[in-house]
Amino acid sequence: MAVHATDTPHPARQDFERLAMWLRLANTPGVGRHAASRLLQHYHSPQAVFSAANLRFAVAPAHEHGAGDDAASGMSLDAARLLAGPLPARIHALAEATLAWAAQDGNHLVMLGDPDYPPTLQHIADPPLLLYAKGDPGLLRREGVAVVGARNATTQGKANARQFAHALSEAGMLVVSGLALGIDAAAHEGGLAGPGRTVAVIGTGIDRIYPRRNAALARRIAEEGCLLSEFPLAAPARPEHFPIRNRIIAGMARATLVVEAAAKSGSLITANAAVDAGRDIYVLPGSVHAPQSAGCHALIRAGGRLVATPEHLLEDLGLPLPGAAAAQSDEAGSWLLAALGHDPVGADELAARLQLAPGDMQASLLALELAGVVERLPGGAFQRLKGA
């Protein structure tokens, strides 16, 4: 259920005290995301939450020590202890820094219930109370598809991610990913190449970029798309941040596409979050011998939908298939078959025959392989099957 932040329509119109209340509710140690979300749903505004906390703590019976919710107030005594009293100095300083950050061009604060808050994100189990956005906040309301995968991705995997993301963006879909190395970075590049553009959900404060190798890409996304974080300013990269970040990636998208994922990949956390949110999972398969595809194949066995080409994904999502793209796909398949002949040929040699970069033809080769037209031989060579 969406929570309407009736007292804070937009951060530019918030005074210091109101912003501080949002920050305190979202960042008080010991309260946690789930409890903070439930309290806001119950009381409808941060001001009401803190008023209830002060009252609950003031009138609590001396013998009461449990953490259970009070039937009348909906708030546990433990939560009241943490939220009652004067504003902590740490939150005061954070509010000052946050207001200064939000005053800069291109920076935005988006509260749960604001017009720019991602609509699909409102309906996950624990929607973030406060989002920091750098770039175009209007993109947060666009329909999107998450494209995620391995950091240690293969050249083919990155080419596939870029190609699928570009096709989605050309069809008008926002591409959502996590700014990690490998598949995520390629997906953002593909999203930026089309009108759908891209949102990068990061696991640090919005004023820090991780990994640093993607700093140039992050700057481009801030200029042409949108960077997004729920973590407070200056929050460093910590291992526990990234699973938290992944639920936002999945929650913002109508579907998630996984391109290369090892057996214990963080991308599987995103896929599970998508399932929990009732979203569809699509998976690009790979070689049974590649460790980067073990997680993908596990997802397919668990019910994820296999896709072999961007056209398959667009059709399944009910998106318009550009005529030029469809013709290009058919033409590429014909060229590949003609270039293959009937003798085994390596991918590099095939690319040289067609004067293509190896990554550009991998999706078409995979589609032909899944269609039973060609087979992949040991050593990476391909051979046209009899009758094809």
In sequence order, what are the beta bridge partners of 200? 177, 227
Q: Which residues of the chain fall below pLDDT 50?
A: 1-13, 62-63, 66-73, 324-329
CB 284 within 8 A of CB 296: yes
Q: What is the pLDDT, as a whole number, of residue 334?
A: 65
Predicted local distance difference test score (pLDDT) of residue 72: 46
Q: What one-character-per-residue DSSP string does 254-315 give?
A: SEEEEES--TT-HHHHHHHHHHHTT-EEEEE---TT-GGGHHHHHHHHTTPEE--SHHHHHH
What is the CATH code of the structural domain delimited by 323-384?
A: 1.10.10.10
Q: What pLDDT score was predicted for residue 130?
A: 96
The domain made up of 142-316 is a member of CATH 3.40.1440.60: no
Residue 308, beta-bridge partner list:
none
pLDDT of 98 reads: 96
The label of the residue with tokens 């994100």 reads 121
3 state DSSP class of 84: coil
| Tens of pLDDT, residues 148-190 | 999 999 998 999 999 999 999 999 999 999 999 999 999 999 9
Residue ranges per domain, the chain? 11-101, 142-316, 323-384
Sign of the alpha-carbon torsion through 217, 294, 375, 349: positive
Handedness of CA 319, 320, 321, 325 (dihedral sign): negative
The 3-state DSSP class for residue 175 equals strand
pLDDT tens figures, 68-88: 444 444 678 888 888 988 999
Cα-based angle 375, 381, 385 (whole degrees, multiple of 5): 30
Would you state the pLDDT for residue 125? Answer: 87
Strand runs labelled E in 271-365: 280-284, 305-306, 345-346
